[in-house]
Structure 1
Amino acid sequence: MKRKNGFLAFVLAASMMASLVGCSGSNTASSAAAGQASDTPAASAAAKSDFPKKPIQIICPVKAGGDTDRNARSLAKALQKYLNTTVVVTNVDGGATVMGMQQCLNSDPDGYTLVVNGTDIFVPNMMGTTDINLDSFKTVGIPAIDNSTVLAVNKASGYKDLKDLVEKSKAKPDSIEYGGKIGATNQMCGVAMNTEWGSKLKFVDVGNNAAKVTALYAKQTDVINLSYSVAKDYFTSGEFVPLVLLGSEKNDLLPNVPLASDSGYKNVDFSKFFWVGAPPKTPDDVIHVLSAAVEKASQDPDFVADMKANYLTAQFKGEKEAQEYADNFYKETMLPYKDAFLKAQ
């Protein structure tokens, strides 16, 4: 009897020891996993969250057919791969992007409604037509930078280069019409050009990108600014001539388009960023999941190729970095022209 009890005690002790070793190994593995996850908080949040459970909507606050709409659809296509759900783009035009931004703010703050925008997010607030600004949202990220804004003329205009355009505008003030959309970033760009170059271009309201292209092609306006890709067929055919890149540095994808500084003028930077935001009360863990997906989308081969085909650079900036980048862009390239811009309204 004594030997039987002794054997039973041995079995129990061995069992307890195996259990302890197993728990120790499990805890060690968990600690290692936790250590790895702490290095990538967005990835950690994605692993813990069961978001998303249904389709996600991206509001594009301008009409279909422009570069913002195109970029939004390219991003949506890439995001579907990494969020494992349908991502649809809805165009909500009006109020210089205000209507689309407001619709996003009015939606449930659950991560299922996002909005895209760029420099136009600042203009309505600057004009005092809305309280909405960048800080009204939680920033998800920036997946791409658009350094392809050019000042373009019809080849029939005969303008040789930027200097030729500027000098002729000085000789006959307000005789050369710069077509754009009133109350938008391109109008501010006109103010900046006249301020920095001493040009005397006359701003004329012709409408959005599609309308600007039509007006320039029909010679109903003399000069416009727009992202190169919006009129790339006209540039390729030679019907439109890009006089200058409106940026602070060259675009390697547009090597033959000069900067203003190449003609002895100050560079006027009206490049753009492609920003993604969500309602302000969206939970942080959901924002992290979305941001992680946007980062993966920005590295997706198809998205990268699509951006490159349109002369953009796929370049991810995460939540805080993207917010700071957008804020600094506003302060450095837009705010200096605020007073002159408001006087022009």
Structure 2
Amino acid sequence: MKKTLRASLLSAMVAAATLGTQAVASAADAVNWPTRPVQVVVIANPGGDTDFNARMMAKYFNRITGKTMVVTNVAGGGGTLAAEQVKGAAADGNTLLFTHPGQLIVNEVAGLSEDSYEVFDVACIAGVDKSAVFVASRQSGVTSMKDLIDKAKAKPGSLTYGTEMGNFSHVQGLMLEKLTGTKLKMVDAGTVSDRVVAMLGGRVDLGAISYGSVQDYVNGGQMVALGQPNDEHNALLGDVPTLKEQGLDITLDKPYVVAFPKGTDPAIVKKMADLMKQITEIPEYAEDLKKFKQPVAYFGTEESKAILAKTREDFMQFKDDLRKAK
């Protein structure tokens, strides 16, 4: 009798959950959104990978919905200025944030902000940057990842790693140190363009930089691409091997997160997630992403939250180093 009752209750719960999911989906289909231009606030300046991905999203959003998505770049404060602008905006679906863990999570772990992804209504992960490579300057004398490890172990702190202290590239360097058992000299070398110039001038030995930003210098012999920190080989990066292929269990993805102010209608949040999924299924969109050496990727709302939670857990081990840098 008890088993039958439990089974009946379980069936009722499953049916209720299914109906609830269907109700949300139905509401998302029916919601009258967007009704006017939607502003997407990007945490970075124009020209970089984050801005590029936001503009690709806006391009196809405009095409599918017939409504305009306006990209607004609000750089500064490690992304906190953009986050605060969206956090304080009306929760009407007309303002959203385009960001990544370098703002949502690193700032929290580093103590730059008390906020994390929970203060927003996360819609989806619109893409994942798999274009980064660990790269060495010609002047460093480093010719491979094995060479880097050998030199760094033989003389700890002798190799300089250029980064923006306390930000995502800093986490990449700290993780490289931990998983290779090495000690690098972390130096604040500024933005990506600043770091490229510093490496070309021999002032910085190493960096983690988007391959598109250094490809010409790798082909020209001024830099050496040591490895891509992807779980699988990104063919768009040519023959640059993954770190896993070199015996190092290092995966460092940078997902691009789409989020609304807290309290936004769940039907709008779901509709945005569904629209982004629809965008990723357009062949022309995939071709556009190749310009930044990036394959198509997408994760729905619940998957995105789980990824962000796991990322925060991984980054917490570097809390002390990041807070010292700030």
- Where on the TM-score scale, by shorter chain, does this alignment land: which range? 0.7 to 0.9
Which structure would you say has the larger Rg?
Answer: 1
How far does residue 341 in structure 1 lie from its aligned partner after superposition?
3.6
Which stretches in structure 2 are left out of the alignment for 5+ residues?
1-18
The letter for the 2-side match of 1:108 is A
How has the CA–CA distance of structure 1 residues 39 and 109 changed in structure 2, closer, same or farther, with 3 Å as cutoff? closer
* 8 Å contact kept, 1:247–1:268: yes
Partners of 1:126 and 1:278 in 2: CA distance: 22
How has the CA–CA distance of structure 1 residues 308 and 40 changed in structure 2, closer, same or farther, with 3 Å as cutoff? farther
2:318 is aligned to 337
SS for the counterpart of 1:329 is helix
2:131 is aligned to 148
* 8 Å contact kept, 2:40–2:96: yes
Partners of 2:69 and 2:191 in 1: CA distance: 26
- Matches for 1:301-312 after TM superposition, within 5 Å: 301-312=283-294
Query: Which piece of structure 1 moves more, 109-118 or 322-331?
Result: 322-331
Q: Does 1:274 align with 2:256?
A: yes
Deviations 1:257-291 (A, max 9, x none): 22334434x32222211111110111111112211
2:12 is aligned to none
How far does residue 156 in structure 1 lie from its aligned partner after superposition?
4.2
Partners of 1:259 and 1:248 in 2: CA distance: 8
How far does residue 255 in structure 1 lie from its aligned partner after superposition?
5.0
* 8 Å contact kept, 1:159–1:165: yes
How has the CA–CA distance of structure 1 residues 110 and 201 changed in structure 2, closer, same or farther, with 3 Å as cutoff? same
How far does residue 344 in structure 1 lie from its aligned partner after superposition?
5.1
2:183 to 197, 200, 204: 200
Q: Does 1:159 align with 2:142?
A: yes
2:151 to 168, 175, 178: 168
Query: Which piece of structure 1 moves more, 81-90 or 238-247?
Result: 238-247
How has the CA–CA distance of structure 1 residues 232 and 71 changed in structure 2, closer, same or farther, with 3 Å as cutoff? farther
1:252 to 216, 225, 235: 235
Q: Does 1:133 align with 2:137?
A: no
1:243 is aligned to 226
Partners of 2:22 and 2:196 in 1: CA distance: 44
How has the CA–CA distance of structure 1 residues 43 and 194 changed in structure 2, closer, same or farther, with 3 Å as cutoff? same
Which stretches in structure 1 are left out of the alignment for 5+ residues?
1-36
Partners of 1:156 and 1:41 in 2: CA distance: 61
Deviations 1:79-103 (A, max 9, x none): 1112221111111111111111110
Tell me the TM-score normalized by structure 1: 0.82
Partners of 1:46 and 1:193 in 2: CA distance: 42
The letter for the 2-side match of 1:70 is F
SS for the counterpart of 1:253 is helix
The letter for the 2-side match of 1:167 is D
1:51 is aligned to 33
SS for the counterpart of 1:330 is helix
- Matches for 1:191-230 after TM superposition, within 5 Å: 191-230=174-213
* 8 Å contact kept, 2:172–2:252: yes
Partners of 2:325 and 2:190 in 1: CA distance: 17
Q: Does 1:77 align with 2:59?
A: yes
The letter for the 1-side match of 2:319 is K
Query: Which piece of structure 1 moves more, 293-302 or 276-285?
Result: 293-302
How far does residue 149 in structure 1 lie from its aligned partner after superposition?
1.9
SS for the counterpart of 2:237 is coil
Partners of 1:317 and 1:260 in 2: CA distance: 24
2:70 is aligned to 88
How has the CA–CA distance of structure 1 residues 47 and 197 changed in structure 2, closer, same or farther, with 3 Å as cutoff? closer
Identical pairs, percent: 29
SS for the counterpart of 2:78 is coil
How has the CA–CA distance of structure 1 residues 81 and 43 changed in structure 2, closer, same or farther, with 3 Å as cutoff? farther
Deviations 1:233-264 (A, max 9, x none): 33344433210112333323335222334434
CA RMSD in angstroms, aligned pairs only: 2.2
SS for the counterpart of 1:173 is coil
SS for the counterpart of 1:315 is coil
SS for the counterpart of 1:314 is coil
Deviations 1:75-128 (A, max 9, x none): 111111122211111111111111111100111111111111112120111122
Tell me the TM-score normalized by structure 2: 0.86
* 8 Å contact kept, 1:189–1:270: yes
Query: Which piece of structure 1 moves more, 334-343 or 175-184?
Result: 334-343
How has the CA–CA distance of structure 1 residues 139 and 110 changed in structure 2, closer, same or farther, with 3 Å as cutoff? same
Query: Which piece of structure 1 moves more, 121-130 or 253-262?
Result: 253-262
* 8 Å contact kept, 2:165–2:325: no
Partners of 2:214 and 2:25 in 1: CA distance: 39
Deviations 1:11-70 (A, max 9, x none): xxxxxxxxxxxxxxxxxxxxxxxxxx9987676334412211111111111222211111
The letter for the 2-side match of 1:56 is V
SS for the counterpart of 1:316 is coil
- Matches for 1:308-323 after TM superposition, within 5 Å: 308-323=290-305
How has the CA–CA distance of structure 1 residues 40 and 209 changed in structure 2, closer, same or farther, with 3 Å as cutoff? farther
